[in-house]
Amino acid sequence: MSATVSALFRIVHTVCSHDCPDSCAVLVTVNEEGRAVKVQGDPSQPVTQGFLCGKVAKYLDRVYAPGRLLYPLKRKAGVAKGPLERGREHEAFERISWDEALEGIAGRLQRISDEYGPESILPYSYAGTIGVLGYGSMDRRFFHRLGASQLDRTICAEAGGVAWNLVYGKKFGTPIEDFRLSKLIVAWGANIHGNNIHLWPMVEQARRNGARLIVIDPYRTRTAALADWHIAIRPGTDGALALGLMHVILREGLEDRAYIDAMTHGFDRLAERVRDYTPERVAAWTGMTAAEVEQLAREYATTRPTALRLNYGMQRSENGGTAARAIAMLPALTGAWKHRGGGGQLSTSGAFPWDKQAVERPDLALASPLGRLARVVNMSALGQALTELGQSPDAKAEDGPAVHALFVYNSNPGAVAPNQNAVRRGMERPDLFTVVHDLFFTDTTDYADYILPATTFLEHTDIQGAYGHYFVQLSQQAIEAPGEARQNVWLFGQLAQRMGFTEECFRDTAEDIIRQALAIGADGHSTNAGMEHITLEDLKEQGHIPLSFHRDPEKQPFLPYTAGPFATPSGKIEFASETLAAQGLDPLPGFVPPTESRWGVAAKRFPLEFLSRKSDNYMNSTFANLDGHRKMEARTSQRLEMHAEDARARGIADGDAVRIFNERGSLKLTALVNGSVPAGVVAAHMDWAKLSPDGANVNALTSERLTDLGAAATFYSTLVEVAKA
C-alpha cells in the first residue's frame, strides 16, 4: 500500500530484509522530494507490534550513509589485492559505467568458463537480504545456466535445520505470538534480546501471568541476566544435557505415553540409549550439578504449557547437529506440542512453500556447457575452496577445477567466513577474478576486481516469509536507489543477457518473479499450500497476510505436530532415524564432546573455549561501519570478555591489552573482566576486520571444521590461549 497521508507524504509498506527471525513490517514515510524521512514498525502487524530493533530504528543512517557505493568500480591496473585503509578504498578503484562493468565481467567469466570449465566460477552469497528475490532467484537462474559451482549455504543454520527435519520432516514451530501463553519458556542457545527482540514482549506477557524463563547459554546475555534461571552451560555440551533430561524424564515416568505411541518412531531404542546419560555424567560435561539437571528435567516435563526457543547458537558446535536433534525430541517426549503455547520453535521457514523451481530454475543447468547441475562447494570451507580445491598436483579429478572466479553478493566473507587467514590468502590470489555486489566498501571489496553498487530494502521490491513467524509480506519500493545502485534481480538479468542467454526468464521483472514465487493461478490466487487465500493485489493493499493455518489463532490455534503423518520416512516423529543408519551413522542421538573443546588434545596448548559471538547492535558484519551503531556497541567492542580466574592466572587485569591466539591466527583485544563468561570460556564480538586494531576479526581464530550433521560452520567450537600483550 502506498497511502497518501497528506499531499506531502506517502507511507509505503516494506519489510526488513535483514537476516533476523522477526522479519518486521516496516512503514516508510516518504516526502514529496522522494526522500525517506521516517521508518517505523507497522502497528498492525501482530509480531512487529509497531516497533523496530535499535539497529533498524536508525535505518536512514544506513540508507543515506555518506559511504554508500553509488557507481560500478574497477580495480586500477597494478593495484594489488589486500586490506585498504578505511575511507581511502576508492583510491584503488576507478569509476566505470554499468555498460563497461557488465561487458567486462561477462567477458571475463566467459573466458574463465572456456579455459577452466564453468565450475571454476564460484558464486558466494548468503543472507544480506532474506527477501525471496534477493536471497535466491535471478542469481540462481544465472549461475545454473552458466554451469557455475553451486554453493552449499551452510554458514548459519544447516546443522540445526537438518537435525530438526530428521525428527519432524519440516520446520514448523510454536507461533511466536503463542509464547505469551506459556508457563515455562526455555531459551536454549537463543539470544532473544539481541537477535529476536520481538519475542521479548511475548515473554514478558507470559511472565506477568506467572511463567518462568530459563536461559541456557554459556554467555550471560541481557536475556540471561533477566531470566529466572540462567544455566551457563559449557559450550558444545547441550546434547549431553538434552540426553540427561530425557534420562530423568523417563526414569521418573514424566513422558507422555499416549502422544509417544500415536506420533513417534523409535521410542524404545531411545529409552535404552538415554539410560547411560545419568545426571551425574551429564553434570560432569555441562558444568551443572546433578541436582540441577534433575530439577530442569522435572520443571520442563511437569509444567504446561512449556515452550523451547531453540535458536541457532547451540548448533554452531562440532556436535551441534546431534545436539539440536536431541533437544528437538524433548517436546515430543513430553507431548508439549498438544498445548497452545507449548512445543518449541527453531524456525518457521518450512511453512513457506514458495515455488522454488520457478524462481530458481535449476532446469537451466541442462542448457549449461555441463548439461547437468554443477558440483557443490561448501561455503563454510571457503578458505579451502580458494587455496586447495583442485590445486594440488594430486587433486582428484572428481573434485573438479580450481576456483578461478568468485562472485560475491549478499555476503561479506572477508569478515564472516571462518578461518579468515585462509580466506584472505585465497582472495589475494592475483589470478582469482573477484566481483562483489554490496552497498559499502567492506572487508571483502578490498579483494575485488569489480565492485557493483546494491540497494537497501527501501529501494527495491521483494516478497518475504520469515523464519520466526507465519506472515507473507510484500516489500514495496519506497524510494529511488541512490546513484546507480541496482537490485540483485536486475544485475543478474543484465549479466545473463550480456552472456548471450536467450531464455525469456532472464527478462523477468521483480513483479514477474513474485508472481512465480506465489505460483499465482488463473483466478489470481496463490496455488502454494497455505497461501491459497493470498493475491498479489491484497498483499499490495495490506502488506502482510498470515498463512492459512494462522488466520484466526483465537478460534483455530495452530498446534504443530499434533496430527500426522509427518514428512519423515516413517511418517512419524523420529527418535531413531533409519536415514542416518543407512548413511552408516548412529540412528540415535548420543554425546561426543567437540574435538576443539576442553576435552580435546589441542586444549593442552590452547586451553580456553572461545565464543566469537554476534554483536547485538550489528547484523553479523552489517551496520558495523556506521558510527551511530558503533557507539551503541562500544561497551563490548574490541573487548575480550574473560572470567576473573582465567585473567588472574595469566596476570591480566581488566583493561589490559591482550593477545588471543591459536594455530590459525591471532588478534589484539582489550580484556574485559565483567562476569559474562564462566571460567574456561572467553568471548568476543564480531566486528569488521579492517576496523579492528590489527586488521583481523574473531574469524581469524575460527576453523573450517564442519558440524556432525549438515556440514555447517563450527564458530563456537574454537580453542584459544590468551596472553598479556
Ligand X SMILES: Nc1nc2c(c(=O)[nH]1)N[C@H]1C(S)=C(S)[C@@H](COP(=O)(O)OP(=O)(O)OC[C@H]3O[C@@H](n4cnc5c(=O)[nH]c(N)nc54)[C@H](O)[C@@H]3O)O[C@H]1N2
- What residues make contact with Mo ion under the rule CB under 5 A? 156
Q: Which of 198, 206, 196, 255 is nearest to 228 (CA)?
A: 206
Write the burial class of residue 114 (CB in 10 Å: 0-12 exposed, 13-18 middle, 19+ buried).
exposed
489 belongs to the binding site for ligand SF4 (CB under 6 A): no
Distance in angstroms (rounded) separating the CA atoms of residues 98 and 484: 8
State which of positions 42-101 bind ligand X (CB under 6 A). none
Candidates 95-103, 273-281, 406-414, 658-666; binding stretch for ligand X (CB under 6 A): 406-414
What is the nearest approach in angstroms of ligand SF4 to the Cβ of residue 53? 3
Distance in angstroms (rounded) separating the CA atoms of residues 527 and 533: 9
Distance in angstroms (rounded) separating the CA atoms of residues 226 and 199: 14
53 belongs to the binding site for ligand SF4 (CB under 6 A): yes
Q: Which does 703 bind (CB under 5 to 8 A by kind): Mo ion, ligand X, ligand SF4, none?
A: none
Q: Which of 679, 416, 713, 422 is nearest to 594 (CA)?
A: 713
Query: What is the number of residues in the chain?
Result: 725
DSSP string, 52-108: --HHHHTHHHHHT-TT---S-EEEPTTPPPS---TT-GGGGEEE--HHHHHHHHHHH
Look at strands 25-30 and 229-231 and give their pairing: unpaired
Candidates 20-28, 293-301, 453-461, 604-612; binding stretch for ligand SF4 (CB under 6 A): 20-28
SS3 label, residue 715? coil
* Residue 48 vs 699, nearer CB to ligand SF4: 48
698 belongs to the binding site for ligand SF4 (CB under 6 A): no
Distance in angstroms (rounded) separating the CA atoms of residues 470 and 525: 18
DSSP string, 560-578: TTSS---SSTTSSEESS-H
The mark string for 175-214 relative to ligand SF4 (x by CB under 6 A, - otherwise) is ----------------------xx----------------
State which of positions 132-151 bind ligand X (CB under 6 A). 134
State which of positions 162-191 bind ligand X (CB under 6 A). 188-191
The single residue among 113, 129, 150, 154 that binds ligand X, judged by CB under 6 A, is: 129
* Residue 53 vs 63, nearer CB to ligand SF4: 53
The mark string for 243-282 relative to ligand X (x by CB under 6 A, - otherwise) is ----------------------------------------
The single residue among 12, 22, 142, 456 that binds ligand SF4, judged by CB under 6 A, is: 22
Q: Which of 638, 686, 562, 565 is nearest to 191 (CA)?
A: 686
323 belongs to the binding site for ligand SF4 (CB under 6 A): no
The single residue among 214, 314, 328, 472 that binds ligand X, judged by CB under 6 A, is: 314
**Residue 704 neighbours by CB under 8 Å, 6+ apart:** 380, 381, 382, 383, 384, 418, 419, 422, 713
CB 717, CB 597: distance < 8 Å: yes
Look at strands 121-125 and 306-310 and give their pairing: unpaired
Distance in angstroms (rounded) separating the CA atoms of residues 704 and 310: 24
The single residue among 12, 16, 92, 162 that binds ligand SF4, judged by CB under 6 A, is: 16
The single residue among 20, 102, 326, 696 that binds ligand SF4, judged by CB under 6 A, is: 20
State which of positions 508-567 bind ligand SF4 (CB under 6 A). none
Q: Which does 519 bind (CB under 5 to 8 A by kind): Mo ion, ligand SF4, ligand X, none?
A: none
429 belongs to the binding site for ligand SF4 (CB under 6 A): no
Q: Which does 52 bind (CB under 5 to 8 A by kind): Mo ion, ligand X, ligand SF4, none?
A: ligand SF4
Q: Which three cell numbers stand for residue 88?
A: 581511502
24 belongs to the binding site for ligand SF4 (CB under 6 A): yes
Distances (CA, A) of 615 to 31, 230, 249, 410: 33, 20, 36, 19
Candidates 13-21, 82-90, 600-608, 620-628; binding stretch for ligand SF4 (CB under 6 A): 13-21
Please give the DSSP secondary-structure letter assigned to residue 321: H
442 belongs to the binding site for ligand X (CB under 6 A): yes
The single residue among 13, 55, 193, 486 that binds ligand SF4, judged by CB under 6 A, is: 55
* Residue 311 vs 595, nearer CB to ligand SF4: 311
516 belongs to the binding site for ligand X (CB under 6 A): no
CB 420, CB 696: distance < 8 Å: yes
- For 716, half-sphere exposure in the C-beta direction (CA atoms, 13 angstrom radius) is 26
- For 725, half-sphere exposure in the C-beta direction (CA atoms, 13 angstrom radius) is 17
Candidates 17-25, 215-223, 411-419, 489-497; binding stretch for ligand SF4 (CB under 6 A): 17-25
* Residue 520 vs 611, nearer CB to ligand X: 611
Binding site for ligand X (CB under 6 A): 19-20, 126-129, 134, 155-156, 188-191, 194-195, 216-219, 221, 233, 235-236, 238, 311-314, 316-317, 409-412, 415-416, 437-440, 442, 454-455, 488, 611-616, 618-622, 686, 698-699, 702, 715-716
